[in-house]
Amino acid sequence: MPDTPPPSPFPRDEAFIPRLRELCLRYPEVAEVAAHGRATWRAGTRQFAIAGAAHQPEQAVVVRVDPDEREPLLERDDVWVPAYDGAWGYLAIAAHEEADWQLIAELVDSSYRSVANQRQLRALDAEPVVPLRGDA
């Protein structure tokens, strides 16, 4: 039987969610969890990616960013501080069809690494994530 992701617990499978799911599920010990009406991806119990920004109509990916990267990212037109999650070091980036999915993949990777435990990081280093077509 081929490896297929489990059905999404997220009630509204918007167009960007399968693409984001594919990015997130490549990492060791990741779980997709519905929280506050949105799909989230977690390394253990710590979330590193969220589908959609709270109270924002635009399709977006919310990720935790390195404080040194925060200001340069906020200079972009497609990045903003999301309500609620922004206070915890997260930023939102537009995730529509024409979005910069290479940057989204890099931000997901950095966000995962910022919350992963040592065992997960060792597993990631032992078998690095293979870039998907379009995010390399």
Question: Quick one: tokens of 83?
Answer: 């309500």
Q: How far apart are CA 71 and CA 36, in angstroms?
A: 27
110-124 pLDDT, tens per residue?
999 999 999 999 999
- Secondary structure (3-state) at 131: coil
CATH number of 16-122: 3.90.1150.30
List all residues 6 or more positions away from 118 whose beta carbon is below 8 Å from its beta carbon.
none
| Cα 131–Cα 135–Cα 136 angle in degrees, nearest 5 | 60
* DSSP string computed for 24-89: HTTSTTEEEEEETTEEEEEETTEEEEEES-TT--S-EEEEE--HHHHHHHHTSTTEEPPTTGGGGT
pLDDT value, residue 68: 94
Give the tens place of pLDDT for each residue, 23-74. 999 999 999 998 888 899 999 999 999 998 776 767 899 999 999 999 999 9
Q: Report domain extents, the chain.
A: 16-122
Q: How far apart are CA 12 and CA 2, in angstroms?
A: 25
Which tokens go with 127? 């078998």
The model's pTM is 0.83
Distance CA 47, CA 33 (A): 9
